[in-house]
Amino acid sequence: MLSRDAKFAVGQVVRHRHYPFRGVIFDVDPTFNHTDEWWDSIPEEIRPHKDQPFYHLLAEGEQHAYMAYVSEQNLLVDDSGDPVRHPQVKEIFSSFKGSYYEQKLGSSH
């Protein structure tokens, strides 16, 4: 399990604290697990600590869908009640209930 309890769960819909996008969590890393180049690309004033959970999201912005990697400190609960319009949501999740997706049986994520 995670070395520190994660605040958010797989299937939960969240939004970014600083940037205008939201998404559904499909995986969680207990601490930072990405490249130094990615880390250095984050503006220093909002660069998160590495020793916290990081979340893989099927994300959506105003113009397109993509995958995002976001620290716990930069996520907030999305309470809009709206489903995420990412094309891969149906591959991993089944139904949407409020602010959570149910994971498909047999899904490895």
pLDDT digits (tens, 9 = 90+) for 55-93: 999 999 989 999 999 999 999 999 999 999 999 999 999
Domain containing 92: what range? 13-103
The answer to whether residue 25 sits within a structural domain is yes
In a domain, 22, yes or no: yes
| 97 found inside a domain | yes
Tell me whether strands 65-71 and 75-77 are parallel, antiparallel or unpaired.
unpaired
What pLDDT score was predicted for residue 94? 93
Residue 94 domain-assigned (yes or no): yes
Burial class (CB in 10 A: 0-12, 13-18, 19+), 70: buried
Is 77 within a domain?
yes
Separation in Å, CA 107 to CA 7, 76, 92:
22, 25, 6
Q: Of the candidates 40, 34, 41, 71, which has an alpha carbon nearest to the alpha carbon of residue 55?
A: 71
Instruction: Please name which of 73, 72, 99 lies closest in space to residue 11, comparing C-alpha atoms.
Output: 99
Determine, yes or no, domain membership for 81: yes
pTM score of the predicted model:
0.90
**How confident is the model over 10-64, as pLDDT tens digits?**
999 999 999 999 999 999 999 999 999 999 998 898 899 999 999 999 999 989 9
Residue 8 in any domain: the answer is no
Please check whether residue 72 lies inside any domain of the structure: yes
Report the domain count for the chain.
1
